[in-house]
Amino acid sequence: DGRSQLLHPTPKGLAVMEQLQQAEQETAAIMTRSLTASELELFAELTARMVENLTTQSKGNP
């Protein structure tokens, strides 16, 4: 019917979000600790290209 609602997380939800963000940061640090800056840059470039491939594919392009 066109109405919208704004949702806000509860304090408990905010606490869970904080825990998840901390866990994500710790996991990323562990995964990348032995990689050089150039390796991380290459990884980011390759990942971006893979995402672009998926985006292009989902739009019907080969």
Residue 1 located in a structural domain: no
pLDDT at 61 over 80: no
Residue 37 located in a structural domain: yes
Q: Is the torsion defined by CA of 13, 16, 22, 23 positive or negative? A: negative
DSSP annotation of 12 reads H
Average pLDDT over the chain reads 94
- pLDDT band per the 50, 70, 90 thresholds, residue 1: confident
Tokens of 46: 């390759």
Q: Round the CA-based radius of gyration of the chain to a whole number and report it.
A: 19
Residue 6 located in a structural domain: no
Domain that holds residue 16: 11-58
Residue 5 located in a structural domain: no
Indicate the residue type of 57: Q
In whole angstroms, give the CA distance from residue 10 to residue 15.
Answer: 9
Residue 39 located in a structural domain: yes
Q: What is the pLDDT of residue 15?
A: 98
Residue 3 located in a structural domain: no
61's torsion region: left (phi>0), alpha (psi -120 to 50) or beta?
A: beta
Number of domains, the chain: 1
